[in-house]
């Protein structure tokens, strides 16, 4: 594992015990776990085909450029509202089907990094805006040491009310969550690692001694380069689309050139052209 230079700490004595914190979407896995769960929820008849199509577009946009704070908060409200009247148990039963879609999208490179951290004595945690229940299931399946996730909706009598409630681990809330965990478990944040793709996670990345930008959006890439943070690139969707666009332009230009040459050849071969 390539380790960036340690930051943080007061420089007095050796660093203490560290941990590694991994964002989920576009960091541990390709794309959005929420979209994969939405596909399962759609198959169960809990959301409309139109809503799933909207989520598909949002997923591609997310993979290409990340998501804004307003978009993330709006997504939370929409998800919470869509859960109104749904039994918690019914949603939990869909977890196994969601795993079938999420697990194949995990990056082997990131799993290898996580296990290297564990072998080096650093506990590994998922830190995500996705639901706490899903984060915990994934952590158990991947043999991570724990997970920090969001509460998406208030629950009364085992049924979701549709009202957002509890912690939503987005932006600064992630940094606050890992800081509380570090205090509780005795981790030295200066000896900790954090991995994320989004500038919204800059507070979490800045809180540790070893921040790593994974598939960074444009804003995070600028921040990482300015701060000297390590950058990992694993998601090739953006590159593939850019290459496809370039090839399309090249093909169009080639076809245009061929058409022009063909028309010119016909003019040279015509009787009128030969009489001039």
- Which segments within the chain are labelled E, that is strand? 20-22, 124-131, 146-150, 155-156, 159-160, 193-196, 210-214, 230-232
Closest CA to 107 of 169, 197, 191, 41: 197
CB 101 within 8 A of CB 32: no
Q: Are residues 194 and 269 in the same domain?
A: no
Q: Give the domain extent around 243.
A: 238-275
Q: Output the domain CATH number for residue 41.
A: 3.40.50.1000
Q: What is the pLDDT of residue 46?
A: 60
91 and 37 housed in the same domain: yes
Catalogue the active-site residues: 23, 25
- Residue 201 shares a structural domain with residue 137: yes
Let me know if residue 6 belongs to a domain: no
Instruction: Give the largest Cα separation in the chain, rounded.
Output: 94
pLDDT per position as a tens digit, 6-22: 333 333 335 689 999 99
Percent of the chain whose pLDDT exceeds 90 = 42
Residue 83, SS3 per DSSP: coil
**Claim to verify: residue 268 and residue 202 sit in the same structural domain:** no
Digit-coded pLDDT (tens) for 133-148 = 889 999 999 999 999 9
21 closest CA partner among 121, 102, 128, 105: 128
Could you tell me if 175 and 252 lie in one domain? no
Number of domains in the chain: 2
Q: Are residues 125 and 183 in the same domain?
A: yes
Distance of alpha carbon 57 from alpha carbon 121, whole angstroms: 40
Could you read off the pLDDT of 95-118 as tens digits, one per residue? 788 888 889 999 999 999 999 999
Statement to judge: residues 142 and 244 lie in one domain? no
Same domain, 125 and 252: no
CA distance linking residue 142 with residue 114, whole number of Å: 10
Question: Would 19 be classed as within a structural domain?
Answer: no
Say yes or no: 247 and 179 in one domain. Answer: no
Of 61-75, 187-201, 228-242, which one has max mean pLDDT? 187-201
């Amino acid at each position: 594992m390539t380790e960036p230079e340690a930051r943080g700490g007061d420089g007095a004595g050796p660093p203490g015990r560290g941990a590694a914190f991994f964002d989920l979407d576009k960091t541990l896995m390709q794309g959005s776990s929420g979209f994969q769960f939405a596909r399962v929820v759609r198959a169960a008849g809990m959301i409309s085909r139109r809503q799933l199509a909207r989520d598909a577009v949002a997923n591609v946009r997310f993979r290409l450029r990340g998501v804004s704070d307003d978009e993330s908060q709006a997504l939370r409200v929409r998800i919470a509202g869509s859960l109104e009247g749904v039994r918690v148990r019914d949603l939990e039963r869909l977890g196994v089907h969601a795993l079938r879609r999420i697990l194949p999208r995990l990056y082997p490179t990131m799993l290898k990094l996580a296990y290297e951290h564990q072998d080096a004595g650093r506990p590994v945690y998922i830190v995500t805006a996705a639901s706490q229940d899903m984060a915990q299931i994934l952590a158990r399946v991947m043999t991570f040491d724990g997970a920090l996730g969001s509460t998406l909706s208030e629950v009364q009598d085992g049924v979701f009310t549709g009202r957002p409630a509890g912690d939503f681990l987005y932006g600064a809330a992630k940094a606050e969550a890992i800081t509380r965990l570090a205090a509780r478990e005795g981790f030295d944040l200066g000896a900790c690692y954090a991995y994320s793709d989004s500038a919204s996670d800059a507070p979490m990345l800045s809180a540790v001694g070893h921040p790593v930008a994974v598939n960074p959006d444009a804003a995070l890439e600028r921040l990482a380069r300015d701060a000297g943070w390590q950058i990992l690139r694993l998601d090739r969707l953006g590159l593939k689309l850019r290459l496809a666009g370039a090839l399309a332009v090249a093909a169009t230009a080639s076809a245009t050139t061929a058409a022009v040459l063909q028309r010119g050849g016909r003019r040279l071969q015509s009787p009128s052209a030969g009489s001039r």
